[in-house]
Structure 1
Amino acid sequence: MTQQNDNLGDDLEEEGGNKGRLVKILAMAGVMLLIAGISVGGTLFLTGFFADEPVVTENGEPGQQQARPPTRALYLQLNPDFVVTYDVGSRQRFLRVELAVRARDQASLDALTQHMPLVRDEIITTLSEQTFGNIQRREGKEELVETLAEVMNRIITQRSEGQGVEAVLYNNFVLQ
Structure 2
Amino acid sequence: MKQTIPGLLLLLAIMLVPSSAFANNDTNTETDTSAAMPDYTYYTLAPDITTNYVTQGKRLGYLRLQVDLMLLDPSMSKLVEHHAPLIRDAIITVIGQQPEARVQSLAGREEIRQACLAKVNELLIAETNQKLVTELLFTKYLFQ
* TM-score, with structure 1 as normaliser: 0.57
Name the CA distance, whole Å, in 2 between partners of 1:126 and 1:109. Answer: 23
Aligned counterpart in structure 1 of residue 88 of structure 2, from 107, 115, 120 = 120
Q: Secondary structure at the match of 1:101?
A: strand
2:64 is matched with 96
Q: How many residues align?
A: 111
Q: Secondary structure at the match of 2:46?
A: strand
2:47 is matched with 80
- How well do the aligned residues superpose, as a CA RMSD in angstroms? 2.0
Name the CA distance, whole Å, in 2 between partners of 1:88 and 1:96. Answer: 19
Structure 1, residues 30-63: CA drift from partner, whole Å, max 9, x if none? xxxxxxxxxxxxxxxxxxxxxxxxxxxxxxxxxx
Name the CA distance, whole Å, in 2 between partners of 1:119 and 1:139. Answer: 23
* TM-score, with structure 2 as normaliser: 0.68
Q: Which amino acid aligns with 2:49?
A: F
CA drift of 1:98 comes to 0.8
Give the conservation status (yes or no) of the 8 Å contact 2:64–2:141.
Answer: yes
1:142 is matched with 110
Name the CA distance, whole Å, in 2 between partners of 1:164 and 1:129. Answer: 24
Higher relative contact order (CA 8 A, sep 6+): 2
Q: Secondary structure at the match of 1:139?
A: helix
Q: Secondary structure at the match of 2:110?
A: helix
Structure showing greater radius of gyration is 1
Change (3 A) 1:69 1:152: same
Percent identity, please: 24
Give the conservation status (yes or no) of the 8 Å contact 1:73–1:104.
Answer: yes
1:168 is matched with 136
